[in-house]
Structures are given as C-alpha cells and as structure tokens.
Amino acid sequence: MTQRTVPSTVPVGPRADAHRSSGPRAGSDDPDPNTTTAPPALADRTATGLLHQRILLLDRELEQDNGAQLCAQLVLLAAEDPSRDITLLINSPGGLVPAMLAIGDLMDVIPCDVRTVALGMAYSAGQYLLTHGAPGKRFILTHGRVLMHQGSAGFGGSAADIELQAEDLRRGRDLLIDITAERTGQSR
C-alpha cells in the first residue's frame, strides 16, 4: 500500500496567528496530524517580501489590529515613493466598519494609486476596499467572488436602545451604498 503525503500549508501575509495549527477537522476532536504550518519567521519574511514589492495583503477578517497595520503600511509606502502604485490583495469575509472606512479614507488621500485585487473572496468590508481601488485598477481573479450585503449587528438593551442601534445601522448602510455607488459610477 502506497502512503499519500499531504502537502503542507504555508500561510501568506502578516497574520499574527499564522504559526498556529488550523485546529480540529470537521467531525473530529483531534487535530489533523497531516497539517503543518510555516514557522512565524517564514510568515514574517513573506510579509516583508510582499511589502518590499509594494503589495499589501488582507487575508482574513478585517479587525482593528490588521486594519491599523494596513493603514500604517499604506502611509509608509506612499511616503517611500508617492509615484508608484501600491497593490492591495483582498481575500476577506468582511470585518469592522471603522477599520474599513479608515483604510478607504487613506486610499483616497495618499498620492499614489492603489490597485485592488480580489482573490478568493471580497465580502462586505473586502468589497468596499475593492471598490476603493483606483479607477481602472480594480480586478477580480477568475474564481474570485464579491459580495455586498446588508449590515448586521447584535442588538440588545431596551426598545429605545434597539431603535437607536437600528437607526445607526441604517445610516451606516446608506453611507456605504452611497460611497460604493459613487466609486463605481453606478446608481444607488
């Protein structure tokens, strides 16, 4: 009987959790013994290599930490050479609206163009960032998927609190729809 080897997975990008195991397999309580991940040093070298090529990577849910890191990297690269494009690769299920708006606002004010590329998925915040790429420099790879959906939130509290939260959600939704329509030249 021939033994099959399973290729190891190598995370790409500046992920804080890149050195951790992927965890248990579906339907199993035991971790997959065939899954290995790259050591943190390799993930750091990969992220550094991409940064030197002016490529940024959003490869997970957008949160405050990686949102702040992407903002810092945009500023760094724009200061380094304001005439060269920056590429933002997006493979994200979405994330926090404040982090998304901060990155989008920075993309608008830095002097260089930001080329955006959807690989895999650009959902919610990923879709928003994709549309913030420079006109004519927004791309979706062949099997990439883009999804814009209704906002969601975990409401709680009194009826008055829930009403305020719902109104805030509506305002945020309308803002994102208006910005996306403006950036893409589409009607609301």
Cβ atoms of residues 25 and 32 within 8 Å: yes
End-to-end CA distance of the chain: 61
In angstroms, the CA 118 to CA 129 distance is 10
Report the catalytic residues.
124, 149
Q: What are phi and psi of 164, to 5 degrees?
A: -65, -45
Tell me 131's DSSP state. H
Cβ atoms of residues 62 and 97 within 8 Å: no
In angstroms, the CA 81 to CA 173 distance is 35
